[in-house]
Amino acid sequence: MSFNFLAPQITLGVPKFLGFAEDLLLHTFSYPAILVKYPYKKLYDAFYESAASALDLAEVGCVGGEELHRQLRNEIRTVVKESEGTVTFAALEKMTLTKSVVYEALRIEPPVPYQYGKAKEDIVIQSHDATFEIKKGEMIFGNQNFVGKDPKVFENPEEFVGHRFAGEGEKLLKYLYWSNGRQMDDHPTAENKQCPGKDVVVLMSRLMLVEFFLRYDTFTVDASTVLLGSSVTFKSLTKAS
């Protein structure tokens, strides 16, 4: 394990004219793992011991289960058959459950959970029950894990619900902020910080899901949490019948 996993976020608070030297020292070269092995181990143990409920959720909820797998493969294979065996953009748009499952996965575990930015002007931000005034130049921090699991917006927010964004559930897309902007209505521009690859991420995720269930009926996995993210290991794959 390299010290550089955390080094890009570390600063010694030196004056700006020494910033180059600090960057060269902290952010350029890999340091021997032995230097941080002990504190990393303490951090790892703390995460591991506190993650029991999250791991249980991953094992029984986030995988979806055989019933969701059955619904997905039926939808995917039916639509592809109607499209003469071809996966097209038009066919993908007809796969409402498949689309919803991708959105739900991004809600449960956003690929970039934290965002930072400085206010370009004085602004006022409102939550459900409070108002916050932010001055120009102040730093703003966003945690997508809280946003995507807001119990006032999403019913059973800690549970993976494959059909959450299907049908009437599409209205909830305006509350989905995994890309540092609304999934519905907002679009990446040079003037905002929304992920420029937002649409590509969703498209590729849907394609991967479609190709998977064209080849397999179901699967089982072991899901766990490691220091820097999640780990999923396939235990079994059942080929398409």
Residue list, annotated binding site for heme: 195
Residues making up the annotated binding site are 195
Sign of the alpha-carbon torsion through 54, 202, 9, 232: positive
